[in-house]
């Protein structure tokens, strides 16, 4: 019993700490000073650096990771995890490439606000909110892929801020996207290890509602901050 309470407290505190740390980064759109200097100065193909930037962005991308936590929270079979993560990957890869290559511009605050809502959706879905309140269940696979499209536009918007050279741009984009997938894989490994460990204890189900409520709360906080940023910028 004490161990279960301890595990629950560790998870709650971890979520709160991530939320506090991430709130200071919301208006920077996830690009640190060193990365910004590189992107502004880069003039050619740079596979290695773009791989690194993509991986770092995903590993530190709290909004993407919170969504993925919600997606896999109740997935217990490896093939289901692979399927849903693949749908998310297809979605964000499509809009990353089309957004940058065809200069499809999206307001960064609005797209990040939608990404925040994607976290709210997943927490709400995990709580059975749609069935309880509306009497229907959305197609979870379609929803994950659709929100993946929005997450990809978020990535594309960040890159478009730096007006990358058009010569061989697709090569840098491909390297960035591969880096994103590498970062996503690394993050998922750690998340799955933690979830697998927690699932051995009764507290996983006891506090599943609390966890997904916190997930929704985190998404609402992200949404609120981005909408404030949009209002201020306007």
Q: What is the pLDDT of residues 164-217, one digit of tens each?
A: 878 888 998 999 999 999 999 999 999 999 999 999 988 898 889 999 999 999
Q: What single-letter DSSP state applies at residue 137?
A: -
Residue 47's pLDDT band (cuts 50, 70, 90)? confident
Residue 22 has pLDDT above 50, yes or no: no
Q: Distance between CA atoms of 213 and 211, rounded to whole angstroms?
A: 5
Span 32-49, average pLDDT = 75
Whole-number average pLDDT of the chain: 85
Q: Distance between CA atoms of 220 and 226, rounded to whole angstroms?
A: 10
Q: How far apart are the first and last CA of the chain?
A: 52
- pLDDT value at position 41? 72
Residue 3 has pLDDT above 50, yes or no: no
Residue 36's pLDDT band (cuts 50, 70, 90)? low
Alpha helices in the chain, H assignment, sequence order: 2-23, 33-41, 47-59, 62-72, 78-101, 108-126, 129-134, 140-160, 169-198, 203-206, 208-233
- pLDDT value at position 31? 63
Q: What single-letter DSSP state applies at residue 44?
A: S
Q: Give residue-wise pLDDT tens across range 113-158.
A: 999 999 999 999 999 999 999 999 999 999 999 999 999 999 899 8
CA distances to 16, 25, 39, 214 from 19, rounded to whole Å, are 5, 10, 27, 10
Q: pTM of the prediction?
A: 0.84
Q: What single-letter DSSP state applies at residue 106?
A: -
Compute, in degrees rounded to 10, the torsion defined by CA atoms 194, 197, 203, 204: 60
Residue 93 has pLDDT above 60, yes or no: yes
φ/ψ of residue 221, rounded to 5? -65, -45
Q: Which residue has the higher pLDDT, 55 or 36?
A: 55
Handedness of CA 171, 176, 181, 186 (dihedral sign): positive
- pLDDT value at position 108? 92
CA distances to 8, 28, 58, 207 from 4, rounded to whole Å, are 6, 37, 30, 10
């Amino acid at each position: 019993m004490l161990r279960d309470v301890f595990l629950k407290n560790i998870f709650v505190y971890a979520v709160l700490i991530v939320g506090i740390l991430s709130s200071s980064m919301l208006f920077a759109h996830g690009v640190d000073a060193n990365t910004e200097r590189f992107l502004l100065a880069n003039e050619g193909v740079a596979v290695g650096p773009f791989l690194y930037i993509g991986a770092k962005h995903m590993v530190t991308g709290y909004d993407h990771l919170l969504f993925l936590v919600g997606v896999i929270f109740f997935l217990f079979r490896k093939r289901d995890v692979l399927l849903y993560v693949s749908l998310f990957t297809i979605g964000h890869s499509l809009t990353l490439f089309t957004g940058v290559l065809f200069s499809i511009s999206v307001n960064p605050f609005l797209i990040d606000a939608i990404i925040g809502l994607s976290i709210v959706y997943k927490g709400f879905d995990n709580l059975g909110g749609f069935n309880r309140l509306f009497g229907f269940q959305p197609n979870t696979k379609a929803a994950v892929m659709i929100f993946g499209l929005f997450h990809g536009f978020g990535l594309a918007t960040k890159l478009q801020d730096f007006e990358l050279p058009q010569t061989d741009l697709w090569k840098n984009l491909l390297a960035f996207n591969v880096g994103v997938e590498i970062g996503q894989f690394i993050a998922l490994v750690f998340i799955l290890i933690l979830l697998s460990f927690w699932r051995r204890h009764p507290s996983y189900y006891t506090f599943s509602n609390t966890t997904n409520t916190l997930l929704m709360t985190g998404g609402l906080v992200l949404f609120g901050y981005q909408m404030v940023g949009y209002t201020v910028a306007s």
